[in-house]
């Protein structure tokens, strides 16, 4: 489907509450479509005596009146809310259609009643409640935003870290869409030159030499790889990572969570088996969004096997294992006060996880006997089980010693040495990066075909395929499935 196909535009007028439910300063109900103004005028009573219809983009003060159900008629009309109303005539509106916004008092019942009043008044005008994402979909179909920007609005709204917001803002500004359009134009230019060569094979002047074609395609592959690579490096800054604290009972996992979170989030006692269900805390570690999860501790094998553990604790331990397997980073907390910190329960746990995702923390540095060197002993024990390369961070959750080193180690393991994203940095989201990878892969196949001396018409097909894949990113060409997947994830009123 071509996005600028006028047949996709509907003549229905849609209405929805645009602001979140709840008490607030202002609540907005939005109408979009040809009957927006006519519908609003039926229920809007202006304050100004000289009112003769909506002046474009001017805030009119007045009231929303619900037609009375009593036979006495409009004189008895009930006041629903005191509002400001504004009309944006097409095409200069958010959706590109006629838009009316009613700014009333925020409160879930008030705005719902304003909406109901409009829907009832506009029924015969084709006014109906909007579906999820329908305002944004109309804005997209009318060329007000490309698909990257539509997604960026949702990403900006959902951002829960400054880094994630910076990436979304750059996409919203349109830079990424323009970059993709630029790459696609370069591709189309190569295609045009190829077509000339196909149409006039004897005309050597117009012919693009295979080496020139290959170098043009090679440049595009490099550019696409760079962008898709940025997406995979930046994803963790936007989506965050799951960091799971696991280990033996009493090792100090809950104490560590509290120390990092800076609050007494989890219960800490000297009793083994204090934490029974997992506890999670979303925080920023050096700007990196992380979900830190404290889990129920593992006991020594014997206790597990005799079946003496109470069922609540057993379920807690089973959840710990599931979480450990899902973690982006598994922090194995060892009890440094014990003579042998890496014992049977720890080894058993490590047997079930990806060792590449493990960070070892040796806790209780404050109480270690100075003459022993548990760090060295632990390093040796880790060597035995293939974790010789793993960094061991020595901390004390009780005194805070080593916590900075721990934070930095976590950040480095999840994001490498990369600094936080800066405003203006281009990084596609997952959908966009996947499309870039598909286009790059098509172009790599094309390079092989050029090498193999395939005829230009065959090469042209691959160029066209790659170009169409790039067009999916901005939505210049987008299937109904792609559009539905994006707009259905939006809420009503967006």
Ligand X SMILES: Nc1nc2c(ncn2[C@@H]2O[C@H](COP(=O)(O)OP(=O)(O)OP(=O)(O)O)[C@@H](O)[C@H]2O)c(=O)[nH]1
Annotated binding site for GTP: 250-255, 269-275, 294-297, 363-366
The item of ligand FFO, ligand X, Mg ion, none sharing an interface with residue 138, based on CB under 5 to 8 Å by kind, is none
Q: Is residue 138 a contact point for ligand FFO (CB under 6 A)?
A: no
Q: What's the closest the beta carbon of residue 371 comes to ligand X, in angstroms? A: 18
Question: Residues at the annotated binding site for Mg(2+)?
Answer: 254, 275
d(Cα 384, Cα 376) in Å, to the nearest integer? 13
Residues 248, 335: contact at Cβ < 8 Å?
yes
The item of ligand FFO, Mg ion, ligand X, none sharing an interface with residue 88, based on CB under 5 to 8 Å by kind, is ligand FFO
Using alpha carbons, list the distances in angstroms from residue 479 to 96, 213, 474. Answer: 21, 29, 12
Q: Is residue 294 a contact point for ligand FFO (CB under 6 A)?
A: no
Q: Beta 78-88 vs 60-66: how paired, if at all?
A: antiparallel
Q: What's the closest the beta carbon of residue 392 comes to ligand X, in angstroms? A: 15
Peptide bond connecting 334 to the previous residue in cis, omega within 30 degrees of 0: no
Task: Give the contact letters, 59-98, x = binds to ligand FFO (CB under 6 A), - = no.
Answer: -----------------------------x--xxxx----
263 CB-contact burial (10 Å; exposed 0-12 / middle 13-18 / buried 19+): exposed
Question: Residues at the annotated binding site?
Answer: 30, 101, 144, 250-255, 269-275, 294-297, 363-366, 494
Q: Within positions 293 to 312, which residues make up the interface with ligand X, using CB under 6 A?
A: 296-297
Q: What region does 365 belong to: left with phi over 0, alpha with psi -120 to 50, or beta?
A: alpha
Helix (H) or strand (E) run with residue 162 in it: helix 162-172
Instruction: State the CB neighbour count (10 A cutoff) for residue 42.
Output: 17
User: Residue number with the shortest CB distance to ligand FFO?
Assistant: 92
Alpha-carbon torsion (126, 129, 132, 137), positive or negative: positive
Q: Nearest 5 degrees, angle CA 170-CA 171-CA 173?
A: 65
Q: How many residues bind ligand FFO (CB under 6 A)?
A: 8
**Nearest CB to ligand FFO, comparing residues 237 and 490:** 490
User: Contacting ligand FFO (CB under 6 A), which of 101, 151, 155, 181?
Assistant: 101
**Nearest CB to ligand FFO, comparing residues 30 and 411:** 30
Q: What's the closest the beta carbon of residue 269 comes to Mg ion, in angstroms? A: 8
Residues 316, 294: contact at Cβ < 8 Å?
no
Using alpha carbons, list the distances in angstroms from residue 99 to 14, 29, 37, 46, 338. Answer: 10, 11, 7, 18, 69
Q: Is residue 396 a contact point for ligand X (CB under 6 A)?
A: yes
The item of Mg ion, ligand FFO, ligand X, none sharing an interface with residue 161, based on CB under 5 to 8 Å by kind, is none
Q: Is residue 367 a contact point for ligand X (CB under 6 A)?
A: yes
**Nearest CB to Mg ion, comparing residues 122 and 247:** 247
Q: Within positions 270 to 299, which residues make up the interface with Mg ion, using CB under 5 A?
A: 274-275
60-66: strand order across its sheet: 44-46, 60-66, 78-88, 99-106, 24-32, 13-17, 127-129
Task: Give the contact letters, 6-45, x = binds to ligand FFO (CB under 6 A), - = no.
Answer: ----------------------x-----------------
User: Contacting ligand X (CB under 6 A), which of 315, 348, 366, 425?
Assistant: 366
Using alpha carbons, list the distances in angstroms from residue 386 to 347, 350, 351, 481. Answer: 11, 10, 11, 46
**Nearest CB to ligand X, comparing residues 255 and 429:** 255
**Nearest CB to ligand FFO, comparing residues 226 and 491:** 491
Q: How many residues bind ligand X (CB under 6 A)?
A: 23
How far does CA 298 lie from the centroid of its chain?
34
Q: Is residue 8 a contact point for Mg ion (CB under 5 A)?
A: no
**Nearest CB to Mg ion, comparing residues 161 and 275:** 275
Taking CB under 6 A as the binding criterion, the range among 113-121, 196-204, 213-221, 271-279 that sits at the site for ligand X is 271-279
Maximum C-alpha span of the chain? 95
According to DSSP, residue 436 is labeled: H
The item of ligand FFO, Mg ion, ligand X, none sharing an interface with residue 270, based on CB under 5 to 8 Å by kind, is ligand X
Helix (H) or strand (E) run with residue 259 in it: helix 253-261
CA atoms within 13 A of residue 275's CA, in its CB half-sphere: 33
Residues 214, 462: contact at Cβ < 8 Å?
no
Q: How many residues bind Mg ion (CB under 5 A)?
A: 3
Residues 365, 341: contact at Cβ < 8 Å?
no
d(Cα 329, Cα 353) in Å, to the nearest integer? 10
DSSP per residue, 181-198? HHHHHHHHHHHHHHHHHH
Taking CB under 6 A as the binding criterion, the range among 3-11, 41-49, 321-329, 390-398 that sits at the site for ligand X is 390-398
Task: Give the contact letters, 397-436, x = binds to ligand X (CB under 6 A), - = no.
Answer: xx--------------------------------------
Task: Give the contact letters, 63-82, x = binds to Mg ion (CB under 5 A), - = no.
Answer: --------------------
| Rg, the chain, Cα only | 31
Q: What's the closest the beta carbon of residue 85 comes to ligand FFO, in angstroms? A: 12
Site residues (vs Mg ion, CB under 5 A): 254, 274-275
Q: Which residues bind ligand X (CB under 6 A)?
A: 249-255, 268-270, 272-275, 296-297, 363-364, 366-367, 396-398
Q: Which residues bind ligand FFO (CB under 6 A)?
A: 28, 88, 91-94, 101, 144
């Amino acid at each position: 489907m071509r996005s600028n196909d006028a047949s996709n535009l509907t003549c229905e007028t849609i209405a929805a509450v645009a602001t979140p439910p709840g008490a607030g300063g202002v609540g907005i109900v939005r109408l979009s479509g040809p009957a927006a103004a006519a519908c609003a005028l039926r229920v809007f009573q202006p304050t100004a005596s000289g009112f003769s219809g909506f002046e474009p983009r001017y805030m009119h003060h007045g009231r929303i009146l619900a037609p009375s159900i009593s036979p006495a008629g409009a004189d008895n009309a009930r006041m629903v809310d005191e509002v400001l109303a504004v009309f944006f005539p097409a095409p200069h509106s958010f959706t590109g259609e006629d838009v009316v916004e009613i700014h009333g008092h925020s409160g879930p019942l008030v705005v719902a009643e304003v909406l109901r009043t409009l829907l009832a008044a506009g029924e015969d005008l084709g006014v109906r409640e909007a579906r999820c994402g329908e305002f944004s979909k109309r804005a997209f179909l009318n060329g007000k935003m490309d698909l990257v920007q539509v997604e960026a609005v949702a990403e900006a709204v959902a951002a829960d870290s400054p880094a994630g917001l910076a990436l979304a803002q750059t996409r919203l500004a349109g830079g990424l869409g323009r970059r993709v359009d630029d790459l696609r134009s370069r591709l189309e230019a190569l295609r045009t030159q190829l077509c000339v060569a196909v149409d006039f094979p004897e005309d050597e002047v117009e012919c693009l030499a295979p080496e020139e074609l290959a170098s043009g395609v090679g440049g595009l592959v490099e550019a696409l790889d760079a962008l898709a690579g940025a997406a995979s490096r930046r994803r963790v800054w936007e989506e965050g990572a799951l960091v799971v604290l696991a280990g033996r009972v009493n090792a100090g996992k809950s104490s560590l969570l509290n120390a990092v979170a800076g609050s007494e989030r989890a219960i800490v006692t000297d009793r083994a088996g204090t934490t029974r269900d997992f506890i999670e805390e979303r925080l920023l570690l050096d700007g990196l969004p992380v979900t830190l999860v404290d889990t129920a501790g593992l006991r020594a094998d014997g206790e597990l096997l005799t079946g003496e553990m109470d069922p609540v604790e057993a379920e807690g331990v089973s959840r710990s294992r599931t979480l450990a397997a899902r973690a982006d980073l598994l922090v194995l907390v060892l009890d440094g006060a014990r003579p042998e910190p890496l014992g049977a329960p720890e080894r058993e746990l490590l047997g079930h996880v990806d060792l590449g995702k493990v960070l070892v923390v040796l806790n209780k540095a404050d109480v270690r006997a100075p003459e022993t060197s548990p760090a060295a002993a632990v390093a040796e024990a880790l060597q035995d089980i293939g974790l010789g390369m793993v960094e061991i961070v020595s901390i004390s959750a009780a005194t805070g010693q080593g916590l900075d080193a721990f934070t930095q180690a976590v950040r480095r393991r999840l994001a490498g040495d990369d600094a936080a994203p800066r405003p203006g940095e281009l990084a596609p989201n997952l959908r966009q990066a996947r499309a870039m990878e598909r286009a790059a892969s098509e172009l790599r196949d094309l390079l092989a075909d050029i090498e193999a001396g395939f005829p230009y018409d065959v090469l042209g097909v691959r160029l066209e395929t790659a170009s169409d894949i790039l067009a999916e990113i901005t939505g210049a060409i987008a299937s109904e499935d792609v559009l539905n997947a994006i707009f259905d994830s939006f809420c009503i009123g967006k």
